[in-house]
Amino acid sequence: MRELEPIPNDATQQADKVEYLLDARPLCQGEPFILTDAAHPRQILKHGSHFLVLDQSAYIPMCNTLGYGYYRFDTRHLSQWELYLNDAAMSLLSSDVEQGYAGSFLYTNPQVDALPQQKITARRSVVLDDVLQERLSLENYGPDLDIELKIKFYSDFADMFEVRGLNLPRRGERMLPVAGADGRKIFLAYRGLDGMLLETIIEISGMKPYSITDGTAVFRLRLPRREPQSIDFTICTRWDHRAVKEPSYNGTVNGATKISLAQKSADAKYHDWISKGAVVESNDEFLNMAINRGFRDLYILRQPTPLGWGLGAGVPWYCAVFGRDSLITAWQMLSVYPEIAREVLEVLAAYQGTREDEYKEESAGKIMHEIRFGELSRTGTIPHCPYYGTVDATPLWLVLLGDYIKWTGDLDFAQNLWPAAKAALDWMDRACLEGGGYLCYQRLTDKGLDNQGWKDSGDSIMHADGRLASPPIAVCEAQGYLYAARLRTAELAETLGNISLAERLRQEAHDLKINFEKDFWMENEHFVALALDGERRRTEVISSNPGHLLWTGILDNEKANAVASRLMSHEMHSGWGIRTLSSNMVSFNPLSYHNGTVWPHDNAVIGMGMRAIGRLEYLKRLLNDLIEVSKNSPDFRLPEVFCGFERLESEKPIDYPVSCSPQAWAAGSVFQLLQACINLQADARNQILRIIDPALPDWLNLLIVRNMRVGKATLDLAVHNQNGSTYCQVLRKSGPIRVIIECH
């Protein structure tokens, strides 16, 4: 291995003066990429724009395309981080990443030459708090030993789309690694096709390496019996000489280690965030674990952008702000953490379309689909800067705005966003004019998405015989969102004094409802068609999409109840939840991303609709389904999606091969179903909270929500379930609020 050339001491202190040489060797030093979509365990840590994806041994294996790595936004800054003792990989004994931003991993040694097995333990403590801090502590339980420890590192600086399998005709320039003059720093770098210099800086303290080559740091040390020794690593990223600022806990304070100070800082940030929301607890231990997991996942999935904070959709593939995902998640959390909705509304308004751009599918007033900050986005190789190919984010933005005002009564905020709301309405009007009264989509370039509803895989919209629908396509749920958006915005317009607009929107909603039932209702199936194709033919398949209509009110009561019953039938309900597609359909596949799997958020949105039409037993069944799924998931975390096999075929849900975990709208699903069970109806402007016919499942006897905010008031609420009857009790209230509990 080539020894790294040192750089001058002054440049070590001012890292922007590092002089790099071009690394002309093949990427991954000629080793082949692993190309597979098989399911692989992942251990995840995330904070802000950085996230760490580890394999089942808590390492980052060399040359992987499975998502393992240390990332900043969409760039992989470490593509290898592995630990070897006397040239042998250590065996993982236990791991804990429950906090979401910090983890610990305990290893022991295998039998290696003269070193007996299980004589040495290695404990890795990792904290992700703007920068990555890691402490490696070694302890020997046998006779005094001389050992050689190797840390193998590598950085391919791959864009996430490249990690996901996009083959690039050319890349930027990887630089040869450089070592600091004191032998304690390693600089890895890459200059992108746009000229931006990306760097990964590894700083070593506590023990100086014996040597540093361009892929390995070697430590030779003597381990006396029961005398632990530690090595500390600080890993930070820098883009064009601008580093993420390291928190001010360098060195030690009153004997505290850097890792302990990082842990304390990260804990304090989480507790500050969680204290601003409601506290939800119950008598059921598994539900409490799912609630705690959901809060922690939503905290770590908060995602910064230059124009504000949003939510990353899911780790590892979708760690970026998405319009639809962020909006639905924020909507799910309104009753317990309305600040999420405020952030999401603001950041999506900041990126709202302002012009016509076919490549990005941007249009004035349109809410974006997805924004990326990697090299491919910066160079325009992909249109995600941001990309606007979504049919439903704009009406969902208006729905969230209307519901947020109901919970907060913040008319100043509504006034500030009213220009964005009017622009969104204008876009919907233009889109409906082009779509014959409906919101339709058709991709405008070959870089765009074929399907632009929530089921956005290329094969997700089909006819009963399996033929794919031809564009432009009007998916049914987008029309329901459009209907709800017009009614929500009419109410807000009236509140802000725009009576004529409110009347117009209500009339448009009325007309849409009449036309929708005529065009989408399949009388022979007593169900709603998935979509209309480009020739206005119904795609007559039975899917979960019509379940999203139930809360909107676009269906009359008889049709809504027919849809609800079909969704809970054997062909749609797997025993773990409602499938995306009926098992009787030609295109059904329990392993297909959108054509037979089960999605927690899909079930939660449908659950809200079950409450809206009074199908309480179905609502409680769906809550029970998701809690059963969380019981069988690592850390009680609901996955993005799981396979749609019958529950009788397996003792636990079967993992989907490339599911994201954590996933934002999966994390919010339990909160949405609990809100539906209590049936909270906020009217902050009139200082009223209504609770109408609360209903808890039989296994849940007590649910307490503390510090719930409605307008400027807060309250604590207890929901009791005794002998099949549910009743509510206000434990405390502060501020102007009147709680009306109605039980019929």
Q: Does residue 458 carry a pLDDT above 90?
A: yes
- Percent of the chain at pLDDT > 70 equals 95
Residues 696 and 670 in one domain: no
Residues 6+ apart with CB under 8 A from 25: none
The residue among 678, 706, 729 that closes a domain is 678
In this prediction, residue 182 carries a pLDDT of 87
d(CA 147, CA 145): 6
| 303 and 235 within one domain | no
Is 67 inside any structural domain? Answer: yes
- Could you tell me if 281 and 264 lie in one domain? no
Q: Check residue 302 and give its pLDDT.
A: 97
Instruction: State the pLDDT confidence band at 32, using cuts at 50, 70 and 90.
Output: very low
- H helix runs in 107-257, sequence order: 160-163
How distant is the alpha carbon of residue 430 from its chain centre?
31
CA torsion angle for 242, 248, 251, 253 (degrees, to 10)?
A: 180
Band of residue 247 on the pLDDT scale cut at 50, 70, 90: low
Domain membership flag for residue 353: yes
Domain boundary pick from 623, 653, 678: 678
Looking at residue 449, which CATH number applies to its domain?
1.50.10.10
In this structure, the answer to whether residues 41 and 99 fall within a common structural domain is yes
Q: CA–CA separation, 322 vs 76, rounded Å?
A: 20
4 occurs within a structural domain: no
pLDDT tens digit sequence for 315-334: 999 999 999 999 999 999 99
Are both 401 and 543 inside the same structural domain?
yes
Chain centre distance of CA 229: 38
Q: In this structure, are 423 and 469 located in the same domain?
A: yes
Rounded to an integer, what distance in angstroms lies between the CA atom of residue 229 and that of residue 252?
A: 17
Q: Is residue 100 part of a domain?
A: yes
Query: Does one domain contain both 288 and 433?
Result: yes
Pairing of strands 688-692, 738-742: parallel
Q: What is the pLDDT of residue 243?
A: 72
Specify the pLDDT at position 191: 97
Q: What pLDDT, on the 0 to 100 scale, is given for residue 255?
A: 59
Tell me the pLDDT band of 605, cut-offs 50, 70 and 90: very high
Residue 480 burial by CB count (10 A; 0-12/13-18/19+): exposed, middle or buried? Answer: buried
Together in a domain, 594 and 514? yes
Q: For the residues 264-270, what does the mean pLDDT come to? A: 97
297 and 365 in a single domain? The answer is: yes
User: Is 626:673 a contact under the CB 8 Å cutoff?
Assistant: yes
Residues 432 and 573 in one domain: yes
**What pLDDT does 30 receive?**
38
The pLDDT value recorded for residue 743 is 86
Tell me whether residue 2 is in a domain: no
Residue-wise pLDDT tens digits, 278-295: 999 999 999 999 999 999
The yes-or-no verdict on residue 9 having pLDDT over 60 is no
Q: Can you give the pTM of this predicted structure? A: 0.94
How confident is the model at residue 317, as a pLDDT? 93
pLDDT of residue 148 exceeding 70, the answer is yes
Examine the pLDDT at 36 and tell me if it is beyond 80: no
CB of 573 closer than 8 Å to CB of 626: no
**CATH assignment of the domain containing 141:** 2.70.98.40
Over 50: is that where the pLDDT of 12 sits? no
Number of independent structural domains in the chain: 3
pLDDT surpasses 70 at 5: no
CA gap 686, 670 in Å, rounded: 28
Domain end marker among 234, 269, 304:
269
Q: Is the pLDDT of residue 624 over 50?
A: yes
Q: What's the token pair of residue 652?
A: 């636990």
Q: What is the pLDDT averaged over residues 558-568?
A: 98
**pLDDT surpassing 60 at residue 80:** yes
Token digits of residue 66: 């499975």
Which domain covers residue 713, as residue numbers?
A: 690-742
Nearest to 231 by CA among 122, 112, 142: 122
Residues 206 and 287 in one domain: no
In a domain, 352, yes or no: yes
Residue 169 has pLDDT above 80, yes or no: yes
354: its two tokens: 């302002």
**How much is the pLDDT for 296?**
98
> How large is the average pLDDT for residues 723-733?
92
For residue range 194-238, list pLDDT tens digits in order.
Answer: 999 999 999 999 899 999 988 999 999 999 999 999 999 999 999
Q: What is the pLDDT of residue 8?
A: 39
Chain mean position to CA 31 = 32
Q: Is 685 within the bounds of a domain? A: no
**Which secondary structure element, helix H or strand E, spans residue 204, and what is its range?**
strand 197-205
Residues 182 and 46 in one domain: yes
Residue 37 domain flag? yes
Stretch 698-727: mean pLDDT, rounded?
Answer: 95
Per-residue pLDDT tens digits for 637-679? 999 999 999 998 788 999 998 888 899 999 999 999 999 999 9
